[in-house]
Chains A and B, each alone.
Chain A
Amino acid sequence: MFDKILIANRGEIALRVLRACKELGIATVAVHSTADSDAMHVRLADESVCIGPPPARDSYLNIPSLLAACEITGADAVHPGYGFLSENARFADILAEHDIGFIGPKADHIRLMGDKIEAKRTAKKLGIPVVPGSDGGVTDEAEARRLASAIGYPVLIKAAAGGGGRGMKVARSEAELMNAVQTAKSEAKAAFGDDAVYLEKFLEKPRHIEIQVLGDGRGDAICLGERDCSLQRRHQKVWEEGPSPALNEGQRAQVLDTVRRAMCELQYLGAGTVEFLYENNAFYFIEMNTRIQVEHPVTEMITGIDLVNEQIRIAAGGDLPVRQDEVRLMGHAIECRVNAENPATFRPSPGRIDYYHPPGGLGVRVDSAVYQGYSIPPNYDSLIGKLIVHGRTRNECLMRLRRALDEFVVAGIDTTLPLFRALVRNGDVQNGDYDIHWLEHFLENPETIEALA
């Protein structure tokens, strides 16, 4: 087991990792930019090292600085959190070269799943259903036209080096196709440094359903249920829940089994999430995230398994916590990502939190690194924290969420709490009746805008 873990991240996930380390009796090193000197996890860590000025490129993404921090503190492992370097295979390789543990998957799997074309090929080979599309990259005009006809319009052009909803263009007809391909290619080149694109069938009203996995790296893996993350704005998840209101026991069992076999065959190590679009009773693989995700608490609440704790244990060579037949999904959980943004316009609202009172009570969890008097720096994302609520049934969970949201006070900055208060009272949301476009339509509705302003 590791003696000292360096937490290469910030904000709520850094605090989350710190908590897991403390519970395992592992010493903690918090690294931070000058903008995060007052962060909660920095205060709580055993040691802290300032690694650079505010820009992420000079601090949280600064590999030499992170390595030097490991060196001077004697850290024997790094937890990369999510975002930043968590899916940077080169970082994982460099740590391995320096005999420092990387709490995450094998570098080869990070690389594999980071290339979206290769990821899809691999998923297909492993028996995971994929979205019908081009088998590889598309460069040639005639090929693009032929493929699109075969797939059937509308089609989606996606960047191979993209992911997380970025680098995608829709073409609804052959007339739109070439223009969409050219635009997608040049945008991909600018954003990801690689203009390789591939084609996929565009699904009109799918849900986003993802499966949480844990693998021991030696051929054994377990699936810990699913999360429905269909409520998104500009491809950013806003509200996640598990289990999905759209699936019945049979559908769940089948997809969990398919994913589990695939992860066993892959010999996957650590925590990961296999993401699907689900439409008309069919699952379509879109990508795999080889890291811990923002919405991991939803799974923790319904399974009782501490995922970050397990990441650390598994990275140190440990076994999976339970067998697949021992995994139980109990009750229902919903997570709301509370951002420092205007609830109607989503304009960022950095600044000082004058008054902070998080909700409490049975089944209420707040994963947040803010505190009263804390100033949210403008240099990073606007996540204030996550409110996660659990209930024995979805209805109980919704009632509890409504109560918890009404208690939650964050004063001094704008927050998206009013949006969640509106969502929890909405009929479609209460019925679980939504797809990945639902939230944006809801936000475009003048009545909504008026209510939130």
Chain B
Amino acid sequence: MRKPNPFDTENVRQLANLLAETDLTEIEVQKGDLRVRVVRNLTVPVAAIAPAVASAPMAATAPAASAASPSPEASSAASRKQNTVTSPMVGTAYRRPAPEARPFVEIGSSVKEGERILLIEAMKTFNEITATRSGTVSEILVEDGQPVEFGEPLMVIE
């Protein structure tokens, strides 16, 4: 007859699930000689990069990041999001004021807050997209004439 394994993986799994379902970051259980401690990994970058995910105040699972201090990756991802200009509308993006003209900006261009960086056209009406902050254009995420949707990342200004 096999001796029962004192190390019960099922118990550990249950403890881990408990952590995942609640706001707890650490659980320790002692049973006789056996002590099991399960800890939530706090250094995983937790910033969600998904653009404009709906805030869900009624969501059943609480965010795990509330106790975590941001890691370097997390903070750089979060700041990139803050520096990204997103589209406020649906339409076609143009990088230049007219077909023959030069683009408003290029990578490396220095811009001031409020300066025109793109045009988005819908129904024959052109809307100016302006820089949300002063800085340097580090990424251009759309091409001339590309259709864009609401919330689409257009440029990163650092």
Contacts and interface: CB of A to CB of B under 8 A. Distances in A.
B149 A50 contact: yes
B67 interface: no
Contacts of B136: none
Contact of B150 (A50, A350, A379): A50
Contacts of A375: 56, 59
A418 interface: no
Interface in A402-430: 412-413
A54 B60 contact: no
A191 interface: no
A53 B150 contact: yes
A50 B59 contact: no
Contacts of A51: 90, 149-150
Contacts of B89: 64-65, 68
Chain A, interface size category, equals: 20 to 34
Given A68-B90, A72-B90, A54 B59 contact: no
Contact of B58 (A64, A67, A351): A351
> Most chain-B Cβ atoms within 10 A of its Cβ — which of A65, A68, A73, A350?
A68
Interface string B43-71: 00000000111101111110000000000
A351 B151 contact: no
Given A53-B150, A72-B90, A34 B59 contact: no
A34 B56 CA distance: 12
B54 A35 contact: yes
A73 B149 CA distance: 11
B122 interface: yes
A37 interface: yes
B91 A378 contact: no
A331 B149 CA distance: 47
B149 to A, nearest CB: 4
Contact of A52 (B59, B91, B150): B150
A53 B152 CA distance: 12
Given A377-B56, A412-B60, A50 B152 contact: yes
B33 to A, nearest CB: 36
B90 A49 contact: yes
Contacts of B58: 350-351, 378
A377 B61 contact: no
B92 interface: yes
Interface string A43-64: 0000001111110000100001
A71 B147 CA distance: 9
Given A50-B149, A412-B60, A64 B122 contact: yes
24 contacts: A34-B53, A34-B54, A37-B53, A37-B54, A49-B150, A59-B150, A64-B122, A64-B123, A65-B89, A67-B122, A67-B123, A71-B91, A71-B122, A72-B92, A98-B123, A350-B56, A351-B56, A351-B60, A352-B61, A375-B56, A375-B59, A377-B56, A379-B54, A413-B60
Give the 7 A-B CB pairs with smallest separation, nearest first.
A68-B122, A72-B147, A35-B54, A68-B90, A50-B149, A34-B52, A50-B150
